Every structure is written in structure tokens, then in C-alpha cells.
A and B are shown apart, each in its own frame.
Chain A
């Protein structure tokens, strides 16, 4: 199964999860996602998701100056984002349980 397609539906919650405990800048968040096993995540998808979540009011943003590179735009989760993450966790837990059950029950096909 193409995991890229699955990833599209859960990228919001994945991004929220990796910055739940520590703020991060765009490329750093891409790296965290890849380190978490989502190796096929695209830069543009993450940057786009960050912008969308920020516009939706789920993230705060601030710029940190850098001496040896471009200024970095950090994103941090706020109250709205934390609520959103909690809801999506529930949804995911429910959805994944249903899917797991479905796939387990259907193992072997109809009798």
C-alpha cells in the first residue's frame, strides 16, 4: 500500500505531535517526522501544513535570528493546537482500532 496516500490524511496530527513538547522550525519538523519513520514525507507538504495550521490558529510562530544561516521561523503549538491534537488523537485511535479490527476479522475471507 502506498503510505504516501495514508500520510496525507494524518499529516496535520503528525505535525502537531512532533511539536507538542518542543517548538521547531520547518526543516527541523521535516527531520523529526522522518526520524519518526515517516520517511516519505515531503518538505513542501510539511511547510504547507505548518502554514495551514498557523492560519487555522493552532500554532504560534516566531522568528529566531541565525548568525550562520537564514533566520528561522519557529512554530509552537498553542491551546487551540493542543485541543486539536487531542481530538485527532481520539479520532485516530478510534479509526485505527476499527481498521485493525476490520482487517483482522476479514483475515481468511468469508466462510
Chain B
């Protein structure tokens, strides 16, 4: 179908965008890449009174990297991050986001704000202890990933606020990470998936293992697997079982809850093996 009628605003600066958003309040929806919003409009599942198109805000189109973190502006496209060599987990996860054509337009920050429980980037943000910068005409605030994902398709962004950028902190030294997922077809939504990172101590043993799961709960689920894999022999199957006991997947048209829980075990082992190998290479 075609989208319903709406008002359209295309500010040329962040200041202007914030003043439009302040005036429109809950009537406005921000349009970034539109790869989730426009399908919702086309299917008439969303009918905002007005769109505020931020694609001309070039001040938000940059990726800033240093040793501490990668800061991604609100109109940076997925395709840019997929090519980022300095943040391997971010790039790896981004390559699971839909298809290349969608990644050319869709934005990373837009995906975070959309807060789809099957989305990859929210899991990476939560795993890396990242945050999102929100601005409004009244001021700005930074929300940590743990507080940002409120529920399925619901983030902490309030009416009148604009997500300016997301910050993904760099992993500690001697850390390896991996993103894996299973979907019905390449590019489809994940039936289950996870981002996982392993940090080794100076003695070469696992000192920390964290995983963040997608599509097995209303929001990305962070699980500390350190206890399951500490010690001299690492058995990722143990970690997989530990994760299976805490996830709360639902049945839907794509997969049963049991199958999703099965995938959590298999994928934890797969990601754990990969991340550990990478951690050893990085040591």
C-alpha cells in the first residue's frame, strides 16, 4: 500500500530539528534511513502526523573513532559501519543487518531507536556497554544501553528528543568477540543470535565472558558467562546450557520457543569458540 498523509519537515541543522521536534511533540516521528519506518507507513501500521527528515543533517553523518570508542552519528548508514576495520564486532554484526541494499540507506542509530528485539546492533551496544546521546530543545542527556531498550520496539527516546549519536566503547585488551545468528534465509530477521566477547587474563585464561542475545526476549538480553567458562579447560557447551536456562523465547510463526532455546545453546558454543580464538590472536 501507500503511506497515509503526513506533514513533512526537513531541517538543515540539529538546532532547527530540535525546535521542530519541540513544537510538534508526540505528533512527530523522526525519519532517518526509513528502512523500518517506511514499511510501517506503507502497511499503515504507523500514521504519524508529521515526519522530521534528518537526512540533511551532515553534522550527524560522521563516524569518530579513537582508542576508547567508536561514536556513530545519527545518519551514518549501516554500509559505512560494515566496512569499519577498527571495530570488528560492529562490522561483523552489521553485515547481518538485512541486505546490502537496505544497509545502504538504513542507519545504525535508527536501528537502535527502533529497538526491534531481533535487531543486531542493540545487542552490540549492550554488550559493549555503550550509550546513546539524546538531545531536545530543553537540553541533552546520555542514556546507557542498559536503560535504553525499554521493551519490544520501544526505546528511551521521548517525544521532542532526537538521538544524536551512539557510542560503542572499545573492548579491553586481550579481548575477542563474535556475532552469529540463524535466520530462515540470509538477510531475514534472526530466529536467535548473539554477540559474545571473551577477555583473557595475563595468564592466558578466560577472565571474563559476556554474551548478549537477540530474538529470545522483549529486549536484548545480557548474560554473564564467566563462571561457566573460567578455569583451565573451556567448555562452551556449559556456557550454552547456562544461557539456555535464562533466556525467555516466545513461539511465533517463524520458530518455536524450544527451537530458539536450542539455537541459543548451539550459537553460544559457535560464538564462544570464535571469540576465544580471536582473543588468543589479539593477546
| Bound pair (A, B) | no
Which B residues are within 8 Å of any A CB, using their own CB?
none
Which A residues are within 8 Å of any B CB, using their own CB?
none
